[in-house]
């Protein structure tokens, strides 16, 4: 009995020290936890309910590709275009006015053209010209179209003879070079254009009636509509 009491007396200081250590540790842990702010935990979405999208994958300004497509104006395009307008023939004689008409075939930057010109037909200094050419459009996606074309054709020239004054008609084969500037008119959903053209014709194949034929220019102003 004395030995048991002696053991209890010896363990009493160790137990008191252990209790103080536990109390100190608990107080330190409580102080540490209280220093962190509390955050509310979000509720999980139930598995059987659909998830609602609350935002766009893009910024508030939207998809930049869509804005770029809206900013770029969609220009009307056509495969066949009809052009008509007045023309002025400039040659070694005095200038004469007449009519010009053309059909363009081509949707993008290249195509073909068939055209006709009639200036003072049936009288001295008259001209009937029919040509075919290939053309290149250097800005087919723009409002303003600089165009270069080249081709060949046939021209009927009417000249007065010096002796009798009668009109003499001759046919020549010509080479043609054309420079044009066309502007797309602001007509909704229609490929309508206003153009200014300079067409140079050089006699290449002559007949006995057209031995003295010289080169000439046609200055043409046109309005065209595409289909």
Instruction: Report domain extents, the chain.
Output: 1-31, 80-226
Buried b (16+ CB within 10 A) or exposed e, 72-84: eeeeeebeebebe
Are 112 and 131 spatial neighbours (Cβ–Cβ below 8 Å)? Answer: no
- The two structure tokens encoding residue 69: 């497509």
Q: What is 80-226's CATH topology?
A: Porin (2.40.160)
**pLDDT score recorded for residue 40:** 47
Mean pLDDT of 27-47: 55
**pLDDT score recorded for residue 26:** 65
Mean pLDDT of 128-135: 98
Q: How many helices (H) and strands (E) would you count in the chain?
A: 2, 8
Centre a 10 Å sphere on the Cβ of residue 157 and count the other Cβ atoms it contains.
23
Centre a 10 Å sphere on the Cβ of residue 1 and count the other Cβ atoms it contains.
5
Q: Where are the beta strands (DSSP E) in 29-166?
A: 80-90, 96-105, 110-119, 126-137, 144-160
Are 209 and 177 spatial neighbours (Cβ–Cβ below 8 Å)? Answer: no
Mean pLDDT of 167-186: 94
With a cut of 50, say whether residue 111 has pLDDT above it: yes
Percent of the chain predicted with pLDDT > 90: 51
Spatial neighbors of 145 by CB under 8 A, at least 6 apart, are 137, 138, 139, 180, 181, 182, 183, 184, 193
**pLDDT score recorded for residue 8:** 44
With a cut of 90, say whether residue 76 has pLDDT above it: no
């Amino acid at each position: 009995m004395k030995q048991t009491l002696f053991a209890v007396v010896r363990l009493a200081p160790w137990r008191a020290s252990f209790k103080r250590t536990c109390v100190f540790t608990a107080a330190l842990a409580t102080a540490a936890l209280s220093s962190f702010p509390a955050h509310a935990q979000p509720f999980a979405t139930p598995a059987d309910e659909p998830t609602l999208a609350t935002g766009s994958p893009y910024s508030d300004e939207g998809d930049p590709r869509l804005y770029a497509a809206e900013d770029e104006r969609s220009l009307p395009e056509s495969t066949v275009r009809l052009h008509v307008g007045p023309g002025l023939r400039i040659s070694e004689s005095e200038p004469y006015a007449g009519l010009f008409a053309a059909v363009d075939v081509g949707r993008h930057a290249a195509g073909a053209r068939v055209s006709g010109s009639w200036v003072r037909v049936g009288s001295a200094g008259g001209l009937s010209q029919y040509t075919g050419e290939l053309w290149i459009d250097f800005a087919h996606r723009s409002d303003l179209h600089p165009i270069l074309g080249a081709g060949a054709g046939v021209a009927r020239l009417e000249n007065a003879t010096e002796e009798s004054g009668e009109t003499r008609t001759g046919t020549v084969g010509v080479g043609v070079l054309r420079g044009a500037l066309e502007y797309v008119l602001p007509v909704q959903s229609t490929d309508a254009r206003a153009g200014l053209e300079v067409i140079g014709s050089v006699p290449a194949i002559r007949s006995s009636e057209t031995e003295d034929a010289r080169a000439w220019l046609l200055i043409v102003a046109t309005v065209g509509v595409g289909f």
